[in-house]
Amino acid sequence: MADTIDRTALQQFLLRMGDNTLILGHRVSEWCGHAPVLEEDIALANTALDLIGQTQLWLDYAAEVEGAGRSADDLAFLRDVWDFRNVLLVELPNGDFGQTLMRQFLYDAWASIMLGRLQKSADERVREIAEKAAKENAYHVERSADTVVGLGDGTEESHTRMQAALDYLYPYVGELFESDATDAAMVEAGVAPDPAGLREDYDALVGRVMADATLRLPEKAYVHRGGRSGTMHTEHLGHLLCTMQWLQRAYPGCRW
């Protein structure tokens, strides 16, 4: 990490990346033992494990940059709702299987583009994390896209459910492309791209998949925002953290 990089901005960027994968990984893990068929149960569990593994890398680095003696576990289990920097999309409840896979694809599509750009980061550690995560994401985005197409262009019921999932989730997509002072600092340092600059490639990818799935993208959608800055989260994140953090909260410092 170059000495000239704004450490506060870098930590915020790393928290955003790590919190996205942490919260989405936990959400996907909620399907373990509950998926429609065994193959999907295993696939979702593996996806969750990949996301949690990526979380370890992002939050390890965030803790190191912070320099306050905290670990990735501390950042995951001992922060409160207002300290999380994930986008609102990933904290939404799973809903039915179609909604879960639609959310997964909408996130995977963004991650595939972001991780591709981060592999050219001026920060060596960010490059290394992105390179590893991109290999896993390549499988994730292929699988989630195929599932969205299969369900969208499937039966009348599956099509209806997938369209409803898209209509519900799409207003949360815009937050992925918002830019602020943290992003400006990362662009100036060459660490990360401007999120707004990813939108064209994202729209092209999502548009192709939705066309194959015979699904209609909402023409205009209100943008739900606030998660990346920590100024606003849905009520769902608090309930999620109660489940995810209860062991460390009940028994501080406990170890296996």
Specify the CATH number for the domain of residue 157. Answer: 1.20.1260.10
Single-letter code of the amino acid located at 188: E
Whose tokens are 């064209």? That residue is 200
In a domain, 1, yes or no: no
pLDDT at 38 over 60: yes
Nearest CA to 190 out of 120, 255, 251, 243 is that of 120
Nearest CA to 191 out of 132, 135, 130 is that of 130
Average pLDDT over residues 37-61: 95
| Residue 2 DSSP label | -
In a domain, 175, yes or no: yes
Write down the pTM of the prediction.
0.95
CA 177 to mean position of chain CA atoms: 13
pLDDT at 88 over 60: yes
Range of the domain at 146: 7-250
In a domain, 237, yes or no: yes
Q: Which two tokens stand for residue 184?
A: 């400006």
Per-residue pLDDT tens digits for 182-221: 999 999 999 999 999 999 999 999 999 999 999 999 987 7
In a domain, 79, yes or no: yes
Per-residue pLDDT tens digits for 220-252: 778 999 999 999 999 999 999 999 999 999 998
In a domain, 2, yes or no: no
Domain count, the chain: 1
Per-residue burial over 164-195, b = 16 or more CB atoms within 10 Å of its CB, e = otherwise: ebbeebbbbbbbbbbeeebbebbeebebbbeb
In a domain, 256, yes or no: no
CA–CA gap between residue 210 and residue 215 (Å, rounded):
5
pLDDT at 3 over 70: no
